[in-house]
Amino acid sequence: MPLTRKEKEALVEELNEKFQRAVAITLVNFPGLTVSEVNELRFKLREVQGEMKVAKNTLLRLAVKGTDGEALLDYFNGPNAAVFAYDDPVSVAKVLVEFAKDHEALKLRTGILNGKIVDASSLEALSKLPSREVLLSQLLSVLIATPTNLVQVLAAVPRKLLYALKAIEEKKQ
């Protein structure tokens, strides 16, 4: 049953909000996937704060206007699904690439990250990055290393003095 004009307007408004809120957007082709496979992909995306929406290209074109995703206007042709990453684009890219390896019917087309268009190979490279938590922990360890080393160097002088005094004490006894 076709959507009424009011339903289409509501869908365009909802999609526009998603385009505005998303950190990264990926367009995928999905013909050949079964309903259960699409539902499985949607579930995996939800686990990493992502979402997949399927809509007609005309509705996607209307919804993307005035957002960072406007650069994707030329890519709304054929059967598309828009995948939105709201928190961590790396996790969403990992889910998409892993799912595409297992299901050849899913094809990554293009995407937008920080306002810039990225192709499928860039999305695959993005998926190979460590997760946000791992990157933050690596950054924290680098930030902590310098003060820790400074404290150890400063503590070494009195420690060596104490060792020398202890050795003199033992020698006199």
117-138, pLDDT tens digit by residue? 888 888 888 888 887 788 889 8
- List the CATH code of the domain at 5-129: 3.30.70.1730
Looking at residue 46, its pLDDT comes to 93
The Cα 99–Cα 93 span in angstroms is 10
pLDDT of residue 136: 87
What pLDDT sits at residue 45? 92
Contact between residue 100 and residue 108 where contact means Cβ atoms under 8 Å apart: yes
Task: Give me the pLDDT at residue 1, please.
Answer: 64
The pLDDT of residue 13: 92
Residue carrying structure tokens 């082709």:
29
Q: Mean pLDDT per segment of 10 residues, for the chain of length 173 residues?
A: 84 91 90 90 92 90 87 86 90 91 89 87 85 84 86 84 87 85
Q: Give the model's pLDDT for residue 39.
A: 93
* The three-state (H, E, C) secondary structure of the chain, written as one string: CCCCHHHHHHHHHHHHHHHHHCCEEEEEECCCCCHHHHHHHHHHHHHCCEEEECCCHHHHHHHHCCCHHHHHHHHCCCCCEEEEECCCHHHHHHHHHHHHHHCCCCEEEEEEECCEEEEHHHHHHHHCCCCHHHHHHHHHHHHHHHHHHHHHHHHHHHHHHHHHHHHHHHHHC
Q: Where are the domains of the chain?
A: 5-129, 130-173
Backbone angles phi, psi at 79, to 5 degrees: -75, 115
> Residue 85 has what pLDDT?
92
Beta bridge partners of 110: 27, 119
